[in-house]
Each structure stands twice: as C-alpha cells, then as structure tokens.
Amino acid sequence: MTLIQAPTKSTTLEATLDSARRSIEVASNELAEARKRRDAISAALRKEFPGSRTYVNGSIAHGDALTPLTDVDQGVVIPDPDNIYGPGRFGPTRLEERAAEAIRVALKPDYGDLTVEVKGRKRSILIRFRDPVTPGQPDFTADVIVAIDNPGGQGLFIPRYTGWDRSHPEAHTRMVRQAVKDTDVMYARIVRLLKHWNRSNGKPLCSWNIKALALGCITSPVGLVEGLQLWFAYAADQLNDGETEDPARVAPHPIKLNNPRPEVVRQMRRALDTLLYAIKLADQGYEILALDQLADLFNDENMLPHPTRSAVMRQQADRIKDQGSNAGSSFGSPALIPSTNSLRERVGTRSWAV
C-alpha cells in the first residue's frame, strides 16, 4: 500500500471550512417554511389518491440544503391495483394532471399566486409558490414526482415525459440518511461544501452525483479537510473510469454529467491539487497562503473570502526568505502530492461503487 501524508495538523483550514459551511446552510425560517409547504403538498396528494404513500427526497430530506434554497422535493407512490399504468400501458400524464389539480385546490387559499406546471416537464410537476420567505428575495419551488410501484422488481416507475423510467428515490434517501448517521453528520457537512463548490465552479455535476460518489468514500467520521480530499480523489478516479451508476442499482442508466467526462475529471484533479497545496502551506505555517488557496478552490468571496492582498504578499515574502535561493523555483507551483489512487486506498469503498 502506498502511504500518503497525514491530514494537516493545522486547525486553521478545518475551522475556516466549518465557518464557511455554516454560512451556506439553509436558513431556519426557509427550512421551516419548506417543510410546511411540503407537508401541505403531501396531504393534498394523499387525499387525492387514497392508499398512496408519500416520500421525501432531495436536499431538505438529506440534510444538506444550501441557502438560498432553490427547491424542495416530494414524491407520491400511487396504488395501481388493476395494473393499468407502467411501461407498455398508460403513461403518467393522467396521474400528473390529477395531482396538479389537487395541489392547486389545496394550496391556492394560502398561496394565491400559485402556479402548477405539468405540460412539457420531464419528470416532475413544478410548483411556483410566488410567496418568498424573505420579501425581495427569490422564492423556492417544489418538484413533485408521481410514481407507481414496480411490480416486477425493486424501486419505482417514475415519469419520463409521457413514459416511465425505473428509479428508487426512497432507497436513495435511506442510503443518504444512513451515511449521515454512520459519519456523525459529517457526510452531510462535506456534501454541503461540495455542492457549493460545484455551484460556484460551473456545476460540472448534479447534486445527486455528488452524493452518490460520497456514499462510496465518506463512510466513517472524518474532518472536513480530509473528507474533501477523499471525495475529490475518489470522484476523479471513479469518473475517469465512467459515469456514476445508481447506488440503489435500479436506474438503467448512469448519472449524467453536465460537462464532458474528461473535462470533469480534470476539474476534480485540479481541485484536489489546490486543496493539497493549501494543506501543505498550512502545515508549513503559511496559513494566510493556505487560506488564499482555499478561497481559490471555492471561488466565492461571500462564502470564503480571500485574505487581503497585502497579507498574502507579506507571507509570500516570508516564505521566499525562509526558502532562500530555492524559493523562486518552488513557490507558486502545487506541492508534490499523493496520487488519487493512494488517497482512495485510505477508505473502505462501498461495494456498489467499486
């Protein structure tokens, strides 16, 4: 086994990341309102479809929502005792139209400017409440998935325009919640940071891809710095081999990337290089330079601002002085870092992700 450097002994990066992830957590008033609206949607769906069950999915259900909140996810599994819906039979349109009308009727008294969209949607009914939690700020929406059980296998049939796809969102939520429990909440905290990194760096992946990859490498309690190391290394290796398969082994196709796969892999490796260089600088005592690298990684001055330019220049001068005549050739370049394969060896990967 190839050994790699131990996680940084400096507490600066860990404390900075912890402060940053707190700043991007969904606000308590947004969270309370999201749950209220989600519960109202769930009640309307159960009333419209007796014997149905509802489930929650997405960032609120998984405990990794960012601020500002953009959407909430709600699903309903509708009984189909006569087996008239599903592939080769009726599509989801009738059920979606019934669900949409039930939601309009139930929520209109409280959200007078409510709109519910069905036509042309790939998977979900889109609800626009048009009632922002904070006046003057964008309001979040809701995505509602109408599903039926798959009588011939695991999971559900969920809409794909006028047809059906196989998926298992209920299992996904169980898997994520178990990971949160197994890691003493660190899974959710690391995922939140990664989702923000993704959002501020061109969104190369969808949020579910981030979480699916994290299920394979964030499997025990770890710090934020180490967790980010593990994820970037693991994600780069996995995506280099191919797109991410469904962790529940139900969806027939892997999770699609938003950019070409080689480009995404290069972005993962660059991010890992930046993070490891920040760790090296912190371990050498150049914490301002380390924070400057960390700010480069997240690319968001509101979430994690760069140190002042003057402070960075002073510490650059100190480092050059400390390194003597060799400083000019070494500073400014990423440090020698362990390979992503060696980082991968540190974690017991989930069998589904191997």
What are the chain's domains? 28-168 (3.30.460.90)
Query: What pLDDT, on the 0 to 100 scale, is given for residue 11?
Result: 85
Burial (CB < 10 A; 0-12, 13-18, 19+), residue 301, is: exposed
Give the number of residues written for the chain: 354
Token pair for 48? 């419209």
Where the chain has pLDDT below 70, the residues are 1-10, 325-354
Cα dist. 217→53, 75, 111, 243, 343 in Å? 32, 28, 42, 16, 10
Beta bridge partners of 158: 165
**Contact between residue 13 and residue 278 where contact means Cβ atoms under 8 Å apart:** yes
SS3 168: coil
> Which residue, among 162, 161, 186, has the nearest Cα to 176 in the 3D structure?
186
DSSP E strands: which ranges in the chain?
53-57, 71-77, 115-117, 125-128, 141-149, 156-160, 163-167
Q: Which residues contact 292 (CB under 8 A, 6 or more apart)?
A: 306, 307, 312
Query: What pLDDT, on the 0 to 100 scale, is given for residue 207?
Result: 97
Rounded distance between C-alpha atoms, residue 22 and residue 17, angstroms: 9
SS3 128: strand
Rounded distance between C-alpha atoms, residue 333 and residue 321, angstroms: 17
Phi/psi at 55 (nearest 5 deg)?
A: -140, 160
Rounded distance between C-alpha atoms, residue 290 and residue 196, angstroms: 19
Interstrand relation of 71-77 and 141-149 (parallel, antiparallel or unpaired): parallel
SS3 125: strand
Indicate the residue type of 218. I
CA end-to-end distance (rounded Å), the chain = 18
Tell whether omega for the bond before 68 is within 30 degrees of 0, i.e. cis.
Answer: yes
